[in-house]
Amino acid sequence: MSDLAPQADLAPPPPLDAASTLVEQWGAVEDAARVLAMLAGRPTPVHDVHAEARIGLLAAVQCTRSDPAIFALGELVATMRAGLDALLAAHGTSANPQAAAIRLWNEYERGRAQVLSEAAKALAC
């Protein structure tokens, strides 16, 4: 047995709770949007602290009214994951992925607006 990596370092981290998962998903989508902007030839989106705070509040609320926003975020994550995988695969070839990147960018903007709209509805008291 090697002493290079103690057993504690190899143990999987504890699972994230639901609130952390939402915030992590939102952060991942926003990071992916920066890469997508580059591929689509769009300006890089600025860090939106208000949207991030809204998702953080949504994660903290944990009520059934937040289900549509959580669903919309899951849909956006899935769309971005599949779309970016395809774009990055095409980027390494002679194909020009810009038209597809622009289409995915439009889907990102639509999905992001939907998530934030549903989050606002869930947080309205």
Does some domain include residue 10? no
- Tell me the mean pLDDT in the region 97-114: 96
User: What is the number of structural domains in the chain?
Assistant: 1
Residue 6 sits at φ, ψ, to 5 deg, of -60, 150
Does some domain include residue 2? no
**pLDDT tens digits for range 4-44:** 555 665 566 655 566 668 999 999 999 999 999 999 999 99
74/80 Cα distance (integer angstroms): 10
Q: Are 55 and 117 in contact (CB under 8 A)?
A: no
The pTM (predicted TM-score) of the whole model is 0.81
**pLDDT tens digits for range 109-122:** 999 999 999 999 99
Does some domain include residue 11? no
- pLDDT for the residue 1: 47
Give one DSSP letter per residue of 36-53, joined into a string: HHHHHTPPPPPP-HHHHH
Q: Return the higher-pLDDT residue of 95 and 103.
A: 103
Range of the structural domain that residue 110 is part of: 17-123
Q: Are 123 and 57 in contact (CB under 8 A)?
A: yes
